[in-house]
Structure 1
Amino acid sequence: MFYLILEIKCAVWFWMKSAALFRLIKGNQPFISATYTVVRNLRLCSVVNSGSKFNRSIGNSVCSQVELLTGQPVRSAGTMAPVTGGLTERIDDYINKNTVFIFSKTTCPFCTEVKALFSSLGVEVQVLELDQDEQGADIQNALEQKTGQRTVPNIFINGEHIGGASDTKKLHAEDQLLAKIRAKKGHNYDYDIIVIGGGSGGLSASKEAAKLGLKVAVCDFVKPTPKGTSWGLGGTCVNVGCIPKKLMHQAALLGEGIKDASEYGWGTDPATKHDWAKMVTGIQDHIGSLNWGYRVSLREKAVTYLNEYAEFVDPHTLKTVNKKGKEKTVTSDKFILAMGGRPKYPGIPGDKEFGITSDDIFSLPHAPGKTLLVGASYIALECAGFLKGLGYDVTVMVRSILLRGFDRQCADAIGNYMEAHGINFIRECVPTAIEELEPGTPGKLKVSAKYTDGTDYSDEFNTVVFAIGRDACTNNIGLDKIGVQLNPKNGKVIHDTAEKTSVDHVFAIGDVLDEKPELTPVAIQAGKLLARRLAGTSSALTDYVNVCTTVFTPLEYGTCGLSEDDAIKQFGEQDIEVYHANFQPLEWTVSHRENNACYCKLICVKSQNEKVVGFHYLGPNAGEVTQGFGIALKMGATKAHFDDLIGIHPTTAENFTTMDITKSSGNDPTLTGC
């Protein structure tokens, strides 16, 4: 009796809210008569549906009562004509021959809502509008007999009765809707997708694909470094890249802050020394928690985690080997290559025996002591920066130029700043051998090298770190056996705009892609969008243009868009205008840091209304500043847009809203006032 009263109240409320009420009134149909018809037929409906779910009789929709708004009574299951064999066959054909089939009515808002949901997911559905079909009333009667549900929408997926709008939305909220849609596979492989590589990109792709209803596995296996270093799930960024690098950079910044603190009135002990082991323990504990979190996340998303080394044996089959040497085979319809890269060694005597790389430095159990960084990449300069900030004697050996591929003016400014702060640079020089003079933690190493003019160089160090580039992990996994084409110069995967390789069912993301940025957020975005395309829910491609990045050197460098040299090459020197300025952060004034070390510039194309195509910033919090302005470049901002923006004072970012000195003017951009 309670449910009957509730049903009546709900139905009358919906009816009174509907525009049909006004149509009834305008048509001079008696209000009392119409209300009675609703109630009378609802009472009949409540009896017929007494064994069905409440949300299917009323909660999903009262659109089964739409006929009542015209004053015509609805025939109940007991008063309708028996369902004929031909009608039953017609209904079964709709249900069984379509992945998603909706019995609907054009006047039903719940039907419109559920169609929009499927559309937003990129799922094609077939619909029969019962109010537009001659047999609509009989079909609705037959559906009630078949499912116990009279209301619309009445939804079937792969032949299974789902229910109405609320049932469908509940499945979607629980990430089960797409799984039901994808459950009917068109292949007999173990998985829909196997992702090779458990880094940021691989995890992003696998979780998104599983969320969209695909059966997914991730193969991830870390081969230890020559020094025996290995790590858990999460890839380079989490374990031996972005995360520990930023934390060690922060440790160095805190050291600088201690020096500044005395100028701000804080009592500090000049003899305070940094505890390397304590820092490493704290960082590794954090990384361990991330590793565990990723494993839990895969389990929650129903992604199979295989801590095994994978190698193709045929186009759809992998041989996997775990750390105990146990082999097995798994098959998949599609594959995503997300193996990332590993640091290079120079191939000189003693390099792997006595040298280390960024794969080792962040978990080094002892202080590194006097350290040589070999290389001029951002990895070399970032490591050199935080090691110096932590109090170690640091030398950087550079073969040619700093930060190849970045803006030359900014790269050179970083080098000058680092040299001014006590980092030694050995330029145009390459190592030729390393030998151990004394074992220990750290030991003592002799490094022999040669300048480009042939002059010999040698010195002694406690630690030697190679940061001379990275090799894509595309060898020894059987790509040659299945025909995946690689760039012979760098071993990276050749691909199209949709990250598809030369093999139609094999895709690639992240650092293994040829001529694409080697950045964690890029891999994450590419993995997510690729998963959506493979699931058929989207056609969106990754936009590799105007990707922001930051180099966490002692003087941080944020950039988005083109370098000055690349802009000139692309648009011509006569069509480029560069606005620039030096500045001093307010926080540096009391501690008497440099006046004009920080710098910013905008590179604009004159013929395009001074559209900004290059953004460059040298100063504190470069990542935060650059990320904020990145969207402006993404949206095609011009110099006028920057000028119209009112800055936040006092901040370093506001300098981009006040720049009026151009390089072409020849005027001095150095700081002259507040």
Structure 2
Amino acid sequence: MAAFCRGRHRLKSISGLQTSIRQLSGKFDYDVVVIGGGSGGLAFSKEAAQLGKKVAVLDYVEPSAKGTKWGLGGTCVNVGCIPKKLMHQAALLGTAIKDAQKYGWTIPSPVSHDWATMAAAVQGHVKSLNWGHRVQLQDKKVKYLNMKGSLVDEHTVKGVTARGKEMTVTTRNIVIATGGRPKHPTHVIGAVEHGITSDDIFWLKESPGKTLVVGASYVGLECAGFLTGIGLDTTIMVRSIALRGFDQQMSGMVTDYMEAYGTKFAWKCSPTKVERLPSGSLQVTWVNNSTKQEGRDTFDSVLWAVGRAPEAKQLNLEKVGVRLDEETGKIVVGPDEVTSVPSIYSIGDISQGRPELTPTAIQAGRLLARRLATDSKELMNYDNVATAVFTPLEYACVGLSEEDAEKKHGKDSIEVLHAFYKPLEFTVAERDASQCYIKAVCLRGGDQRILGLHFTGPSAGEVIQGFALGLQCGATYTHLLNTVGIHPTCAEELTKLNVTKRSGLDATVTGC
């Protein structure tokens, strides 16, 4: 055994010597090695390979605390945007069935939803995307390694398979794109043993049943929204505020609609313990942060949506000299995505100060690939990135919130134009439209440049996506008024904004 260990040590020494020789000679196994096979890492890899670089991607999914694991593609494809939007669509179809009867459709009763059918269809689509990504990498001659990656030095990456087999490769540059994973609250007894996260919810074979969602981030609200929409008893526990970081007036519109829609809210409450009862149910104990009173209830599932942590611990970053933000644990990067080590770059959610959004990671990855492979100097523009929250009443925005605009420019220097409107689709169906709302946050002086647009209503993301182009081009309130709307649409209401908050006048839209 001792002889074997000495032999193995000698092999590693030879490997290290070979690595040093390659580095000194300027010859590497790859031009770029990417650690992380999510949206940003894949976008970079395909672009760099297409531009003639020799690229390898290391991607390995550590199973969740509940053992859930998935394939290539990262959070968005497997446990984020894609399955979330499909399950949101399932909920919207449930609402559409109710509306259809007012439009003359005869719907046999009772109408019910089958989780297993939906889950199988969603999971089947996700698996097809996993396969598609592998084919694309192969077609572009990107080497895919299903291994956990970590840094040996600024030009060497170690990969480890699930069975513990190791290999090292040398590379001129390294791109880290490992993203983040959901957190479990460490102060709650039984949180890990008895709870699930967004890493698990989309891969459940059976319905989660009566569910407590802890946390009111966009992840928590979206999951609670589609669970309510398919008929499940759902409660959201909110420690402080909903949709932190978003415009808080719009956040109120979203949660008010959700409450009217059937989702329950436990405001200003924090869980302290989760325990499994002999019946199999989960008993949750919590404290009201205002009254300090204790409460209890039983649920079939508890979903933690209390934030995400960067996947950085296993990368060996500190040893190589990659600087991390002390508060967030994310990688500190410059405008060109470079870390504190010149040959190492970082893109996507693991980078400090970057929006945790799939499209920004994709765009940043492509632009970085062009800078490394060509004479391009173009940097990623992180200003005015649009986003949407796929709650029962969707919310989308681009630019500054009203609060951030006030902080940046002063309350007296901004003008907020707003309107309450009623989607035509809601009229015959007799649906409540009291939270369908639009506002434009503008500079008050000069040409009244638009600082932010906010919209709650049907297909909110589709509406705001087009207007985001306007903000990139420096759109003003005058430009908005001079844009002729498409009638009858919800989006056209943005082009008709004429009531300011400052005026105190009724902002309800009447007539066509």
Give the TM-score taking structure 1 as reference length.
Answer: 0.71
2:295 to 439, 454, 457: 457
Superposition deviation, residue 248 in structure 1: 0.2
> Secondary structure of 1:645's partner?
coil
Number of aligned residues: 487
| CA distance, structure 2, for counterparts of residue 608 and residue 531 of structure 1 | 40
1:360 to 184, 189, 200: 200
Paired amino acid for 2:94: G
Paired amino acid for 1:192: D
1:306 to 142, 145, 161: 145
Superposition deviation, residue 638 in structure 1: 0.5
| CA distance, structure 2, for counterparts of residue 596 and residue 428 of structure 1 | 25
Q: Does 1:445 align with 2:285?
A: no
Q: How does 1:531-546 map to 2 (within 5 A)?
A: 531-546=369-384
Residue 234 (structure 1) aligns with: 73
Q: How does 1:651-662 map to 2 (within 5 A)?
A: 651-662=489-500
Residue 176 (structure 2) aligns with: 337
Superposition deviation, residue 186 in structure 1: 7.9
| CA distance, structure 1, for counterparts of residue 486 and residue 389 of structure 2 | 24
Sort the Cα spacing of 1:515 and 1:608 in 2 relative to 1 into closer, same or farther, 3 A: farther
Sort the Cα spacing of 1:481 and 1:318 in 2 relative to 1 into closer, same or farther, 3 A: same
Q: How does 1:526-565 map to 2 (within 5 A)?
A: 526-565=364-403
Paired amino acid for 1:513: S
**Misfit runs of 4+, over 3 Å:** none
Paired amino acid for 1:265: G
Q: Deviations over 1:443-497 (max 9, x none)?
A: 4100111121321121100000000000000112110110000011111011111
Residue 487 (structure 2) aligns with: 649
- Output the aligned Cα RMSD: 1.1
> Secondary structure of 1:252's partner?
helix
Residue 221 (structure 2) aligns with: 381
Residue 39 (structure 2) aligns with: 200
Q: Deviations over 1:100-145 (max 9, x none)?
A: xxxxxxxxxxxxxxxxxxxxxxxxxxxxxxxxxxxxxxxxxxxxxx
Q: How does 1:132-531 map to 2 (within 5 A)?
A: 187-347=26-186, 348-438=188-278, 443-453=280-290, 454-531=292-369
Residue 68 (structure 1) aligns with: none
Residue 153 (structure 1) aligns with: none
Q: Deviations over 1:55-99 (max 9, x none)?
A: xxxxxxxxxxxxxxxxxxxxxxxxxxxxxxxxxxxxxxxxxxxxx
Q: 8 Å contact 1:251–1:390 — kept in the other structure?
A: yes
Q: 8 Å contact 1:240–1:359 — kept in the other structure?
A: yes
> Secondary structure of 2:442's partner?
strand
> Secondary structure of 1:476's partner?
helix
Q: Deviations over 1:393-427 (max 9, x none)?
A: 00000010000000010001111111111211111
Q: Deviations over 1:155-175 (max 9, x none)?
A: xxxxxxxxxxxxxxxxxxxxx
| CA distance, structure 1, for counterparts of residue 36 and residue 405 of structure 2 | 35
| CA distance, structure 1, for counterparts of residue 108 and residue 336 of structure 2 | 57
> Secondary structure of 2:95's partner?
helix
| CA distance, structure 2, for counterparts of residue 620 and residue 644 of structure 1 | 24
Q: 8 Å contact 1:595–1:671 — kept in the other structure?
A: no
Q: Does 1:663 align with 2:501?
A: yes
Superposition deviation, residue 596 in structure 1: 2.8
Paired amino acid for 2:332: I
Superposition deviation, residue 429 in structure 1: 1.0
Greater relative contact order (Cα < 8 A, sep 6+): 2
**Where does structure 1 lack aligned partners over 5 or more consecutive residues?**
1-184
Give the percent of matched residue pairs that are identical in Structure 1 and Structure 2.
54
| CA distance, structure 2, for counterparts of residue 358 and residue 187 of structure 1 | 44
| CA distance, structure 2, for counterparts of residue 501 and residue 604 of structure 1 | 36
1:600 to 429, 435, 438: 438
Q: How does 1:20-99 map to 2 (within 5 A)?
A: none
Q: 8 Å contact 1:333–1:505 — kept in the other structure?
A: yes
Q: 8 Å contact 1:310–1:321 — kept in the other structure?
A: yes
Paired amino acid for 2:257: Y
Q: Deviations over 1:543-574 (max 9, x none)?
A: 00000000000110010000001001111111
Residue 13 (structure 2) aligns with: none
| CA distance, structure 2, for counterparts of residue 319 and residue 239 of structure 1 | 25
Sort the Cα spacing of 1:329 and 1:357 in 2 relative to 1 into closer, same or farther, 3 A: same
Superposition deviation, residue 313 in structure 1: 1.9
Paired amino acid for 2:435: A
Residue 591 (structure 1) aligns with: 429
**Where does structure 2 lack aligned partners over 5 or more consecutive residues?**
1-23
Q: 8 Å contact 2:254–2:435 — kept in the other structure?
A: no
Rg (Cα) greater in structure: 1
Q: Deviations over 1:484-539 (max 9, x none)?
A: 00011111011111011000000000001111100000000000000111113311
> Secondary structure of 2:328's partner?
coil
> Secondary structure of 2:45's partner?
helix
Q: 8 Å contact 2:256–2:435 — kept in the other structure?
A: no
